[in-house]
Amino acid sequence: MSDKNDGVLGAKVHEQLKKLGIETPFDPNKIPDQARIESSFREIMLELGLDLQDDSLTDTPRRVAKMYVNEIFRGLNYNNFPKCTVIENAMGVDEMVLERNITMNSTCEHHALPIIGKAHVAYIPGTKVLGLSKMNRIVQFFASRPQVQERLTAQIHAALCFILETDDVAVIIEAEHACVKTRGVEDACSDTVTSKVGGAFRNPVTRNEFITLSHK
């Protein structure tokens, strides 16, 4: 486990998401067998009629398996949950802290195609504050698994509420779905916006301030 990760905190967040009914349907104790994934993907390619003896294709199954385990689905392993040490709000900050335009790359769990977008995350400090980069890392962790955007938004919100011990958290995600753009309806121009707000952000004035600041 990297010193930038905290599997103990990750396990607690996992239990919180289960309690709220918003956890991804998966077995958190499963250790992926990279060799088996490689073999399975090779079979898919062969079934499609691809020539794996070709120099361009021969190493694709290994690359895909490595990518699945170590990159785009690393958020299925709570040992990869980012370390999120909170500190006392010694300065008495009582205004919104907003991290906007956070890069958000995920994978649609229905068609295994990319979801590409950005997240805006804010909270109003109570007794605790969190390093800014930790909000980015929490977004990236939950994005790094098969997802639906609505659940992803709720998971980020719930994790931050749990870590900061406050309901004063707001999340907006704006994303484009390759499963909409490249197949099915093939709508190249649409995007999807989801939000989850709690606590003080339920106040229309605070909510509007969050939305306005997120899009300046």
pLDDT in tens, 68-112: 999 999 999 999 999 998 999 999 999 999 999 999 999 999 999
- How far apart CA 61 and CA 69 sit, in angstroms, is 12
Tell me whether strands 146-147 and 97-108 are parallel, antiparallel or unpaired.
parallel
Residue range 152-163: average pLDDT? 98
- How far apart CA 78 and CA 5 sit, in angstroms, is 9
Helices (H) and strands (E) in the chain, counts: 7, 7
- Give residue 216's pLDDT: 80
Give percent above pLDDT 90 in the chain.
96
- Give residue 162's pLDDT: 98
- Give residue 1's pLDDT: 55
The dihedral formed by the CA atoms of 178, 213, 103 and 3, expressed in degrees to the nearest 10:
-150
- Give residue 135's pLDDT: 97
Point out the residues that are catalytic. Answer: 108-111, 149, 177, 179
Residue range 146-155: average pLDDT? 98
Supply 114's token pair: 């990319």
Instruction: Judge whether residue 8 has pLDDT over 80.
Output: yes
- Give residue 3's pLDDT: 78
- Write down all domains in the chain, each with its CATH number in brackets: 34-72 (1.10.286.10), 84-214 (3.30.1130.10)
- Across the chain, mean pLDDT equals 96
- Give residue 14's pLDDT: 98
Nearest Cα neighbor of 155 from 168, 139, 177, 166 is: 139
Query: Within 13 Å, how many C-alpha atoms sit on residue 75's CB side?
Result: 23
Nearest Cα neighbor of 5 from 158, 144, 138, 163 is: 138
Of the pLDDT bands very low, low, confident and very high (cuts 50, 70, 90), residue 193 is very high
Residue range 158-173: average pLDDT? 98
